[in-house]
Each structure stands twice: as C-alpha cells, then as structure tokens.
Amino acid sequence: MKIILFFAVFLFMSTSLFCQYTKKDALITSDDYIKKSKQQEDTGYWLLGLGAAAIGIPLIIWATDDTNESDLESLAGPISMLVGAGMMISSIPFFVASENNKIKGMSLSIKNEAAPYFRNGNQLTESVPALSLKVGL
C-alpha cells in the first residue's frame, strides 16, 4: 500500500511539473539585449581583473621575497597564476557576447507609432509604421 501511495504521489508531482505556464508571447526587446550586454561586460571585466590579481599577487610576493632559503617550495603561487590565466582567458567570450548583444540591441526595428492628426476639429491618433534606430552613446 505504501508503494502504491508513493508512486501515485510521484506520478501526480511529475505531471504537475509539465503544467507550468510560460509566456510564449513575451519577446526579447532591444532593452533586454542592452541590459544583457552590460551584465556580460561587467562579468568579463570582473574575470579579467580577478585573473590579473591572481597572477600579479604571487609575482609581487616572489619579487619582494629576500629569503630564498626554503627547500620546500609551495605550489600555491603557480596554481594561483594558472587559475588567474584561466580566468583572464575565460573573460574573452563574455566580451565577445557582450558586443554581439550590444549590436543586436542597437539595431533597426519597425514599430507602430501613434501619429496625431486633425479631422473636423478633433485631434485623433492613427497607428503608423515607423523605423526606429537605437544608438548607444
């Protein structure tokens, strides 16, 4: 009985997972591309800066160390430098993706704009297709 109850609850929960609603009509706007570009650029700069620090700090410690008498060398410096180099290399795809999303966000688009006009002394609006261009400064 416990096994049947367990499988019934499991079946009920697994079918309810497929019933989640998503917005299919929500399109990605150019503002979303610009925001995504900014976040990717920030991530790229963080990775580049932290990678440079992970390489630079062991180099500074090694250059200022006057006592090179230890027989046992620590692997923390070389490992930190390898991780830093990996972080610096991994920042490149973020910069490339950021530039691609920025180009997508600043592209041309066609929108329906409201154009006012007068008829019989009344101001009315009419939907007119318009070409828009976003330029980032």
List the structure tokens of 15.
């079918």
pLDDT > 60? residue 69 = no
**pTM of the predicted protein model:** 0.60
Beta carbons within 10 angstroms of residue 116's beta carbon: 8
Residue type for position 35: K
- In this prediction, residues 41-64 reach a mean pLDDT of 92
Q: Name the band, by pLDDT with cuts 50, 70 and 90, for residue 103.
A: confident
**The tokens 């917005």 sit on which residue?**
23
pLDDT tens, 80-95?
999 999 999 999 999 9
User: How far are the Cα atoms of 13, 32, 55, 71, 100 from residue 74, in angstroms, in the given order?
Assistant: 52, 47, 15, 10, 42
DSSP state of 19: T
Q: Which of 92, 98, 111 is nearest to 34 (CA)?
A: 98
